[in-house]
Chain A
Amino acid sequence: MSEISLTVNGRRVSASVEDRTLLVHFLREHLGLTGTHVGCDTSQCGACVVHVDGKAMKSCSMLAAQASGSDVITIEGIANGGDLHPVQAAFKEHHGLQCGFCTPGMIMTTVDMIARHPEGLDEATVREELEGNICRCTGYHNIVKAVLAASKTMSKASKGKAKKAA
């Protein structure tokens, strides 16, 4: 057994877990955060993407024990109270989801992608960056549209903030 202690969505949690427990199973089964999904067994589908210390990570590809001491954010933790995160809002507005199963992973990947590309995104980059997230419903058309729209909104917002700060 491993004793682990980490921050999940801003809350400190400690637990004793089997050594082989994957981060995704810890989140789902120990913490009841079932928004993070398991869609494959080979780290291909991306339904389990969360943020570990600010980086997108497939939570099926690391042990819970490896995340001890880390700051983990899941799909349940990105909205600001009642206000949707701009990426969540863009997925809704552009119909970037159908069955919703891949959606949490898509959104977490997108938030990370936009953060790494403050200069903005183009279609080719978005499609390439989504390589590790599989969707069977949308044909990606509206997901790509949603990512581009969110990127635009967020870069405008950050430019606005930068202006204010200046």
Chain B
Amino acid sequence: MGIEGVGARVARKEDKRFITGAGRYVDDMVVPGMKHAMFVRSPHAHAQIKKIDVKAAQAMPGVIGVLTGKELKADGIGNLICGWMIHSKDGTPMKMGAWAPLAVDRVRYVGDAVVIVVADTKSQARDAAEAVDITYKELKAVTDASRAMDKGAPQLHPEADNNLIFDWDIGNADETAAAFKKAAHVVKMDVVNNRLVPNAMEPRAALGHYDKAEDHYTCWTTSQNPHVARLVMSAFYNVAPENKLRVIAPDVGGGFGSKIYIYPEEIVCLWASKKTGVPVKWVADRTESFLSDAHGRDHHTHAEMAFDKNHKITGFKVETKANLGAYMSLFSSATPTYLYATLLSGQYDIPAIHANVKAIYTNTSPVDAYRGAGRPEAAFLVERMLEVSARQFGLSPAELRRKNFITSFPHQTPVIMNYDAGDFATSLDMALKAADYAGFEKRRDKAKKAGKLRGIGFSCYIEACGIAPSAAVGSLGAGVGLWESAEVRVNAVGTIEVLTGSHSHGQGHETTFAQLVAQRLSVPLDSVSIVHGDTDKVQMGMGTYGSRSGAVGMSAISKALDKVEVKAKKIAAHLMEADEADIVIENGTLKVAGTDKSVPWFQMALAAYTAHNLPGGMEPGLKETAFYDPANFTFPAGCYICEVEVDPETGQTDIVQFVAADDFGNIINPMIVEGQVHGGVTQGIGQALLEGANYDAGSGQLLTASYMDYTMPRAGDVPFYKLSTSNTPSPSNPLGLKGCGEAGAIGAPPAVINAITDAIGTENLTMPATPQKVWAAIRSVKH
């Protein structure tokens, strides 16, 4: 099984349908009688709705229904909620303003959904949407979180005075203040983590179908977690009870966090299907995606780090303003708190940390978790701080880091996390070698002769994946548990279906999960099928985000396989009249160890189902279920080194080398892991060099709402990457996996900015470091 099992570079089973055009995405679904929806969205960042006149729209050709928030509310559909409770430092709960799926009397960002139009064709729906006449009274808007708490700033929600959602603390303020009093050196910096738009290539979509005869709803949706969607739509939004609501997330074209959340559109499509009597499909335009998908990042931070005379870090003080946009998205409160501030210790032994986070409403699209979610913000801050400090002290950035690395595990940080395993020096050494760090100065000199500025930058990131255990996250405010489920069904002829609560939207679960099963049960990879993404098939699951599908999802499968193995061995032992303790599974058979007696796997399976000759008292069949709740987070970590060449005449940055040395613990399929790093690093480079969601401060219009205005990384913007991995297994799950989906997006931005600032000789540079900004920064130091 070496060529198909754990650790093998197996080509993906799911590829065939994608490379032949046979993928099945929501927009590809056709249901008899299906009609098309358009949403009428607010053109204003902040306004009162004075009047909605739908008469002209209703009279347009092909129109079936034009529905408003008033009708939705009258039918008892609830407001959207944030599912993670955060308490401010004074003990008061976060201030959640009302978010109606269709705005009733006020809109709070450009793109806020107001009316749904259903028509025979999408073009007719679009025409009719333009005929909906809404009278607004414009209000002043604020888009910048650093201004939203100013006196006289526009107020978004009556629940939140000064637009403040929560004012939250972590760590120890007194110990940190004491560390600063005794410090030999203090390094201070202000950092902006730029707002990003996730931009999965498949726009969000929903198809709602109400079956009147059965009083039952089906929702096809672009979701990373269909079961959570069903739970939330049922328990909180009053769409339908769970047994009357089936949610299907078929092939989904990327997520990166943006498809975790339950958005207004899927709720409204389901409700509109009942209201109009036809199945209703909505597919976002790209600009609609820019406006209505949850954005990521958008932090303003002031930080100070204290060092003793030997340059050992003694304290870290952080104040962050997090822009959550106009409404609290489903997990928006967790991102700038438990996913951010808990990682502020980085890879370093820091005895005292204190962080304060203020979450703030603004008239912008809601902000929630986007690839990395809080951890990129933490890594950027910590790794910029270490690099800048090393430069100020005249030390090598590698050696300042090494001096402060945590070297013994488990390690309790002052900000909740208990790092269970890691080997940070090994990653650093691997990266230094791969980057030929020793030869850098020569390369810098050569570039200088060619009129280029060459720089090198480090990033020693750590992150936390597979958030768990459920009881712990519950105590921190989570509204859900973060376990995963699996069901392993061995069919009568020995083929296997695995039903998982994880959801694959590019991660390759149909291959990697099958590799685990093939290895454990000694069956061919082709005889294993992975079933996911349908609440009628899989009983319950928590979905895919936070790099949890390996560490949590596969661990659940592993536990179910344990049970299958026990029963299979019992059956085989009975058939061969042997002791079950002597049975081994190998080469497609169950063997009595040390003898030539064996039963083929399929024969054992058939025996389980014919039930003619089973051990006394044993139930027929072979199907086992497991729910797995991990003992701890996992902690992937690594070292990235970026080398850039900047053209001082144009400000253009070229990434000439990018080295990633990651420690992901054990690895199921190195090819897929590398692919995750390539994609993550590219998104990180995108954040550092190219991407930024910009709002016009006065009007609150999103200025970067298309691919003509928002710079997505293209093939020509990035090089081939040099990757390597070390493997310190995670002790917190049975497979020793840590997770690899987000590392690149977490580790890359500081490495890139550290490299550019090294090249140009000033720290005064914000992301994205566009040619214009880099050019201006060069001129700010060159007199």
**Real binding pair:** yes
What is A's interface to B at a CB cutoff of 8 Å? 18, 20, 28, 32-42, 44-45, 47, 74-76, 79, 84, 88, 91-93, 95, 97-104, 107, 123, 126-128, 130-131, 133-144
Contacts of B378-413 to chain A: CB distance below 8 A: none
Which of B37-45, B195-203, B554-562, B620-628 lies on the face that meets chain A?
Answer: B195-203
Q: List 18 A-B contacts (CB under 8 A).
A: A35-B21, A41-B286, A76-B22, A84-B19, A88-B20, A91-B19, A95-B11, A97-B19, A131-B715, A135-B201, A135-B715, A136-B201, A137-B254, A139-B679, A139-B682, A139-B718, A140-B713, A140-B715
Give the residues in chain B near A135, CB-CB below 8 Å: 201, 715
For A100, the closest partner residue in chain B by CB is B18
CB contacts under 8 Å to A, within B473-518, are: 505-508
The reply to whether B715 and A45 contact each other, CB–CB distance below 8 Å, is no
Choose, from B51-59, B313-321, B704-712, the stretch at the interface. B704-712
Q: In the complex, are the beta carbons of A99 and B505 less than 8 A apart?
A: yes
- Contact: A138 with B678, CB < 8 Å? yes
Q: Nearest Cβ in chain B — how far from A119, in angstroms?
A: 20
Please give me the residue from chain A that is nearest to B671 by CB atom: A95
> With contacts A39-B202, A128-B716 known, is A136 near B256, CB below 8 A?
yes
A98 touches B675 (CB 8 A): yes
A140 contacts which chain B residues (CB < 8 A)? 678, 682, 713-715, 718
Among listed B23-31, B342-350, B759-767, interface-contacting one: B23-31
Query: Shortest Cβ distance from A44 into chain B, in angstroms?
Result: 4
A91 touches B678 (CB 8 A): no
Q: Please give the residue numbers on chain B whose beta carbons come within 8 Å of chain A beta carbons, in ascending order.
A: 11-12, 14-23, 25, 27-28, 30, 123, 199-203, 251-254, 256, 283, 285-287, 505-508, 671-672, 674-675, 678-683, 706-708, 712-716, 718, 720-721, 744
Question: Is the CB–CB distance between B28 and A34 below 8 Å?
Answer: yes
Complex contact A93–B19 (CB within 8 A): no
Q: Which residues of B contact A75 (CB under 8 A)?
A: 19-21
* Complex: A142 Cα to B12 Cα, angstroms: 14
Chain A residue at smallest Cβ distance from B29:
A34
Give the docked Cα–Cα distance between A84 and B682 (Å): 29
Residues of B within 8 A of A76 (CB): 20-22
**Cβ contacts under 8 Å, B254 to chain A:** 98-99, 101, 136-137
Judge whether A33 and B21 touch: CB under 8 Å.
Answer: yes
What's the minimum C-beta distance from B680 to chain A, rounded to whole angstroms? 8
- State whether B508 touches A98 (Cβ < 8 A): yes
Instruction: For A144, list chain B residues within 8 Å (CB).
Output: 715, 720
Which of A37, A127, A138 has a CB less than 8 Å from the CB of B716? A127
Question: Given the complex, which residues of A lie within 8 Å of B18, measured CB to CB?
Answer: 97, 100, 103-104
Residues of B within 8 A of A141 (CB): 674-675, 678, 682, 718, 720-721
Q: Looking at chain B's contact residues, is the secondary structure mostly helix, strand, loop, or mixed?
A: loop
Question: Is A42 a contact partner of B706 (Cβ separation < 8 A)?
Answer: yes
What's the Cα separation between A42 and B288 when bound, in Å?
12
Question: Which residues from A are CB-within-8-Å of B507?
Answer: 98
**Nearest neighbor of B675 in chain A, beta-carbon distance:** A95
| Cβ distance B223 to chain A, nearest Cβ, rounded Å | 13
**In chain B, what residue has the closest Cβ to A85?**
B19
Q: Which of A34, A37, A42, A107 contacts B707 (CB 8 A)?
A: A42
User: How distant is the Cα of A128 from the Cα of B287 in the complex, in angstroms?
Assistant: 26
Q: Is the CB of B707 within 8 A of A130?
A: no
Do A134 and B707 form a contact, CB below 8 Å, given A35-B21, A74-B21, A144-B720?
yes
Contacts A42-B707, A98-B675; A35 near B712 (Cβ below 8 A): no
| Complex alpha-carbon distance, A99 and B285, angstroms | 19
- Decide: A136 and B199 in contact? CB cutoff 8 A: yes
Q: How far is the CA of A123 from the CA of B586 in the complex (A)?
A: 44
Taking a contact as CB atoms under 8 Å apart, the answer to whether B714 and A131 are in contact is: yes
Among B253, B283, B671, B714, point to the contact of A101 (Cβ < 8 A): B253
Complexed CA–CA distance, A65 and B588 (Å): 57
A-B pairs, 6 with minimum CB distance: A35-B21, A100-B18, A101-B253, A139-B682, A99-B506, A75-B21
A39 touches B718 (CB 8 A): no
A79 — nearest CB in chain B belongs to which residue?
A: B20
Measured between alpha carbons, how far is A141 from B720 in the docked complex, in Å?
6
CA distance A95 to B723 in the complex (A): 15
Give chain A nearest CB distance to B442 CB in angstroms: 24
Given contact pairs A39-B203, A102-B253, a sample of 14 additional A-B residue pairs in the complex whose CB atoms are under 8 Å apart: A33-B21, A39-B201, A39-B286, A42-B286, A45-B201, A99-B252, A99-B254, A100-B19, A107-B19, A126-B715, A135-B715, A136-B679, A139-B678, A141-B674
Max chain A CB contacts within 10 Å: which of B18, B254, B708? B18
Please name all residues of chain B whose beta carbon is closer than 8 Å to the beta carbon of A38 when the two chains form the complex: 27, 203, 283
Contact partner of B708 (CB less than 8 A), chosen from A44, A74, A91, A130, is A44
- Chain A residue numbers with a CB within 8 Å of B251 are 99-100
- Nearest CB to that of B20 among chain A residues? A79
- Assess the A130–B201 pair: CB atoms within 8 A: no
Whether the pair A37, B15 counts as a contact (CB closer than 8 A) is no
For A101, the chain B residues whose CB sits under 8 A away are 23, 25, 200-202, 253-254
A-side contacts of B201, CB under 8 Å: 37, 39, 45, 47, 99, 101-102, 134-137
Residues of A within 8 A of B28 (CB): 28, 34
**Known contacts A18-B123, A134-B714, A144-B715; is A100 also within 8 Å of B253 by CB?**
yes
- In the complex, the chain B residue whose C-beta lies closest to that of A126 is B715
Shortest C-beta distance, A141 to chain B (Å), equals 4
Chain A residues whose CB sits within 8 angstroms of the CB of B19 once the complex forms: 75, 84, 88, 91-92, 97, 100, 103-104, 107
Report chain B residues within 8 Å CB of A99. Answer: 200-202, 251-254, 505-506
Using CB atoms, name the residue of chain A closest to B714: A131
Q: With A and B bound together, what is the CA distance between A136 and B675 in angstroms?
A: 12
State in angstroms the CA–CA spacing of A144 and B718 once bound together.
Answer: 11
Q: How far is the CA of A20 from the CA of B23 in the complex (A)?
A: 27
Q: A93-B11, A144-B720 are in contact. Are A136 and B20 (CB under 8 A)?
A: no
Contacts of B23 in A (CB 8 A): 35, 100-101
Instruction: For the complex, give the distance between the alpha carbons of A144 and B720 in Å.
Output: 9
Nearest-neighbor residue (CB-CB) of A84 within chain B: B19
Query: Hey, which chain A residues are within 8 Å of B256, CB to CB?
Result: 136
Nearest Cβ on chain B to A48's Cβ, whole angstroms: 11
B682 nearest in chain A by CB position: A139
Q: Max chain B CB contacts within 10 Å: which of A36, A88, A99, A144?
A: A99
Contacts of A28 in B (CB 8 A): 27-28
- Bound state CA distance, A138 and B678, in angstroms? 6
Least CB distance, A160 to chain B, in whole angstroms: 24
Smallest distance from the beta carbon of A130 to chain B beta carbons, Å? 4
Q: Please, which residues of chain A bring their CB within 8 A of the CB of B25? A: 34, 37, 101
Interface contact B679-A137, CB-CB below 8 Å: yes
Task: Quote the shortest CB–CB distance from B430 to chain A (angstroms).
Answer: 19
Chain B residue contacts of A98, Cβ below 8 A? 254, 506-508, 675, 679
Residue of B nearest to A88 (CB): B19
Closest B residue by C-beta to A107:
B19
- CB of B286 within 8 A of CB of A40, answer yes
Q: Which residues of B contact A32 (CB under 8 A)?
A: 30
Q: Which residue of A lies closest to B669 (CB)?
A: A95
Closest residue of B by beta carbon distance from A98: B506
Which listed residue (A36, A88, A123, A130) contacts B714, Cβ 8 A? A130
CB distance from A159 to the nearest CB of B (A): 25
Residues of B within 8 A of A134 (CB): 201, 707, 712, 714
Q: Which residues of chain B are near A36, meaning CB under 8 Å?
A: 21
In the assembled complex, the Cα of A137 lies from the Cα of B745 at a distance in Å of 11
Closest to A141 in B: B678
Q: Which residue of chain A has its CB nearest to the CB of B121?
A: A18
